[in-house]
Structure 1
Amino acid sequence: MRIYVPATLRMLRRLVADDVLNPLGGTAFALTPALREAYAAGDTDELEYVAMREAARASLRLLAIELVGDQPAWPRRVVVAVDTDAAVPRPDLDDAAVRVTGSIPATAVAAVHIDDPEAEYAVRQAAAVVDAADLGDPDAEFVLGEAEDFELAWYDPSELPFLLELLDL
């Protein structure tokens, strides 16, 4: 099963250093039976894209925590695509939510998706209001939409050390 793990650039640095990814709270997103049922139409690729976008939104929640910390944080959404059979659907959380137990080995990482620099302002703004958007605030949802208008760039896992070095992380 392909799952999408919300992350941050700081988490990617730990992935490269430790060769494992530890999803916060074991939460990830995937094309689950509940997600498939929630959509009247859509092929596998389209529904996996929905799951990836849910992970990107969850990445904003992680960024919201990092951006108020005392260490500098890069305001970019990160989603790590992983192939694993160790994911269990969590429809109590969201149609696309899954729980992953334990660490994910770097060898299971299929791809990494990261915002380009042009998205940083919108992502920083969205991270500040993501909780309000979750609670139904239409103004916050508009700000979130501005960030979600940016597509995430695709990277092969072998590119991560070089990418992080270029970003000076």
Structure 2
Amino acid sequence: MRVYLPCTLPALARAVEAGELGPAPLTGYAVTPALTEWYASGDTEELEYVALTEAARASLRMLAADHADGVEAGSRRLVVVAEVPDSALSIGADLEERARVRVAEPVPMAKVAAVHVDDLYAVPDIQAAIAALPAADGGDDDARFTVDGAEAHELMWFATQEIPDLIE
């Protein structure tokens, strides 16, 4: 199954060095039966876009956690797309995140199909969204608008052979 794994640039660099994304379990997003049922009118491409968007939201939270911990993570959301065997996945019944899956084993870099990353022009909006997350989680509508603004930026697609250029 194609799985969209939220990540950050430093985490991707560590994965490249280790040869795998891990440690397991990993949270990912995919076209699950619950997502397909909920979004009945969508084709596969639309459903994959929903999973990608959910992973990008999770990446934003990973960036916020890194920033809070003082990690130099940059301010670009990153999603790794990988082919994961169905036997390594567990699919929950969370109605809030219908696309969420749990990956029970590390994902070898050889199984990575592509990477999606924010363009540099998105960085100011991503930084603003990271700063606004606590207030948005507390119910502040203006902060929620700022966080949602990060999603106005489409993630760019990169082939696996371009990963070294991303992590330099």
Output the CA distance in 1 between the equivalents of 2:71 and 2:55: 23
In structure 1, the residue matched to 2:26 is 26
In structure 2, the residue matched to 1:123 is 126
Offset at residue 141 of structure 1 (A)? 2.1
Offset at residue 59 of structure 1 (A)? 0.3
Amino acid at match of 2:74: W
Pairs within 5 Å for 1:1-169: 1-22=1-22, 26-85=26-85, 86-92=88-94, 94-134=97-137, 136-165=139-168
Output the CA distance in 1 between the equivalents of 2:53 and 2:71: 27
Task: Call closer, same or farther: CA 1:71–1:27 in 2, change over 3 Å.
Answer: closer
Query: Structure 1, residues 42-66: CA drift from partner, whole Å, max 9, x if none?
Result: 1010011001000000001100011
Q: TM-score, normalised by structure 2?
A: 0.90
Q: Aligned-pair RMSD on alpha carbons?
A: 1.8
Amino acid at match of 2:152: D
Output the CA distance in 1 between the equivalents of 2:23 and 2:41: 30
SS state at 2:145 partner: helix
Output the CA distance in 1 between the equivalents of 2:74 and 2:14: 15
Output the CA distance in 2 between the equivalents of 1:138 and 1:70: 27
Output the CA distance in 2 between the equivalents of 1:132 and 1:157: 36
Amino acid at match of 2:54: E
SS state at 1:57 partner: helix
Give the conservation status (yes or no) of the 8 Å contact 1:7–1:23: no
Instruction: Give unmatched runs, 5+ long, in structure 1.
Output: none
Give the conservation status (yes or no) of the 8 Å contact 1:28–1:99: yes
Q: TM-score, normalised by structure 1?
A: 0.90
**Identity fraction in percent:** 47
Query: Structure 1, residues 7-34: CA drift from partner, whole Å, max 9, x if none?
Result: 0001110111111011675210000010
Output the CA distance in 2 between the equivalents of 1:70 and 1:107: 31
Output the CA distance in 1 between the equivalents of 2:75 and 2:120: 9
Output the CA distance in 1 between the equivalents of 2:119 and 2:19: 24
Give the conservation status (yes or no) of the 8 Å contact 1:130–1:140: yes
How many equivalent pairs are there? 165
